[in-house]
Amino acid sequence: MAVLSVLQLNEYVKGVLEDEPQLQAVAVKGEISNFIHHRSGHMYFTLKDEDSQIKAVMFKNANMRLQFRPKDGQKVVVMGSVSVYSPGGQYQLYVGAMKPDGVGDLYQAYEELKKRLSEEGLFDPIHKKPLPVFPQKIGVITSANGAAVRDIINVADRRCPMAQLLLYPAQVQGAGTDEALIAALDYFDNRGDIDVIIIGRGGGSIEDLWGFNSEKLARKIFAVNTPVISAVGHETDFTICDFVADKRAPTPSAAAEIAVPDLNVLRQRLDGMAERACGGLVGGLSERMRRLDDARLDYDAKNVERLLGLKQERLKGLAGKVNSLSPLGVLSRGYAVVSKDGRAVIDASSVEVGDSVEIRLQKGKLKAKVEDK
């Protein structure tokens, strides 16, 4: 009997395994655990089921082709070969390809539902409801603890602080997601005071987003009377919810930008329109004065004096009217415009003691606080 070294024994077992054709092209399904993505680029993990487990490695050149990021607890199907790592004396699975378990079936179901609903007309632009320009109340359906709701609140508050956001904390992942989302849609649609609804969540795998691919949810979005903005996942993620909604936003932040106007931009436009209007009136008066001067040369001295007096009186009347209509003219007489939260204050009952207000003068603005009324 020959005496072998440990390495020789391991190499022999390795050769036996590698000479077995059925072990060189094997597909195995199981759950990932102890996942490590090494700085070398290689992935090391354990593939297990309820009864057993096996060590596995997926080298960098193979895992660079993955379309998803493996993680602990994820169920996958791997394709590869079985061999022995001689220095460690450990047999393991060398993975050449990997896919989430069941994703193929999910994609097929997604495409089939998408095709069927499209043929029914649920995605047709003719059915898309217009979004309100100045919504007062916005219903938000998403998780109360996710980043999506924070992004929506931050963007909406920056663009239009007087728009009121109402959150319906909803389940956005796992079994029963579609039912929870349908209940939220019913709630907001039946209130009668919601101008637009945002429904969505942050990014994730196809399994994470699967609740937004529900046929029941799609038909509910199509049936509600309130316009719906879908904001599910990242820009590259598409769900059935996106196609049937009245507007699709690539991210939750973008949904808030679509839902509310930017008041700062509107203020700048209004200021520009006011300046152009005043400039046009002044220019028109200047042109009429020039015509009067030209006409004066065509009359003799006696007619000039009489007609000029009449024209000047008329000109004074026109100038007075223009000045009385001009916001700048009113401010130049010592008046001011008081506003709160971007809206003009015309009634003392609309402010309370302690409120902050803005006072606009002919030149500049002042910030003030109501001390008494």
Give domain status of residue 134, yes or no: yes
**CATH code of 187's domain:** 3.40.50.261
Give domain status of residue 355, yes or no: yes
What is the number of domains present in the chain?
4
Angstrom distances, CA of residue 2 to CA of 8, 38, 89, 308: 11, 40, 20, 132
Q: At 186, list the tokens.
A: 């019913």
* 341 Cβ contact list (under 8 Å, min separation 6): 161, 162
Q: At 114, list the tokens.
A: 């998408």
Regarding pTM above 0.75, the answer is: no
Q: Which of 67, 101, 135 is the last residue in one of the domains?
A: 101
Give domain status of residue 199, yes or no: yes
Query: Is the domain of 84 the same as that of 156?
Result: no
Q: Look at residue 324 in the predicted model and tell me its pLDDT.
A: 60
Query: Is the domain of 85 the same as that of 117?
Result: no
**Residues of the domain holding 245:** 105-259
Give domain status of residue 1, yes or no: no
The position carrying tokens 């199509």 is 222
Query: Is the domain of 123 the same as that of 255?
Result: yes
Query: Is the domain of 10 the same as that of 66?
Result: yes
Q: What residues form DSSP beta bridges with 43?
A: 37, 58
The position carrying tokens 């719906």 is 228
* 173 Cβ contact list (under 8 Å, min separation 6): 201, 204, 208, 209, 211
Give domain status of residue 33, yes or no: yes
Query: Is the domain of 127 the same as that of 237?
Result: yes
**CATH code of 84's domain:** 2.40.50.140
DSSP string, 29-82: EEEEEEEEE-TTS-EEEEEE-SS-EEEEEE-HHHHTT-SS---TT-EEEEEEEE
Q: Which of 235, 259, 283 is the last residue in one of the domains?
A: 259
Cβ atoms 68, 53 nearer than 8 A: no
Could you give the CA distance from residue 282 to residue 284 in angstroms, rounded to a whole number?
5
Q: Look at residue 149 in the predicted model and tell me its pLDDT.
A: 93
Could you give the CA distance from residue 122 to residue 124 in angstroms, rounded to a whole number?
6
3-class SS string, 198-247: EEEECCCCCCCCHHHHCHHHHHHHHHCCCCEEEEECCCCCCCHHHHHCCE
Could you give the CA distance from residue 194 to residue 181 in angstroms, rounded to a whole number?
16
Could you give the CA distance from residue 102 to residue 360 in angstroms, rounded to a whole number?
63
Give domain status of residue 320, yes or no: yes
Could you give the CA distance from residue 202 to residue 147 in angstroms, rounded to a whole number?
7
Per-residue pLDDT of the chain (373 residues; tens, 9 = 90+): 778 888 888 888 888 878 787 788 888 999 999 999 999 999 999 999 888 999 999 999 998 877 678 888 888 899 999 988 888 888 899 999 988 887 667 787 888 899 999 999 999 999 999 999 899 999 999 999 988 999 999 999 988 888 999 999 999 998 899 999 999 999 999 999 999 999 999 988 888 899 999 999 999 999 999 999 999 988 878 899 999 999 999 999 999 999 998 877 666 766 666 666 666 666 677 777 777 777 666 655 566 567 677 777 777 776 666 566 555 555 566 667 778 887 877 787 787 877 787 887 767 887 888 787 6
Query: Is the domain of 170 the same as that of 294?
Result: no
DSSP single-letter state for residue 342: T
Query: Is the domain of 358 the same as that of 298?
Result: no
Give domain status of residue 198, yes or no: yes
The position carrying tokens 């603890």 is 145
Cβ atoms 172, 230 nearer than 8 A: no
Could you give the CA distance from residue 81 to residue 93 in angstroms, rounded to a whole number?
6
Query: Is the domain of 109 the same as that of 214?
Result: yes
Query: Is the domain of 154 the same as that of 296?
Result: no
Angstrom distances, CA of residue 23 to CA of 30, 54, 62, 91, 323: 17, 14, 18, 12, 93
Q: Which of 201, 225, 259 is the last residue in one of the domains?
A: 259
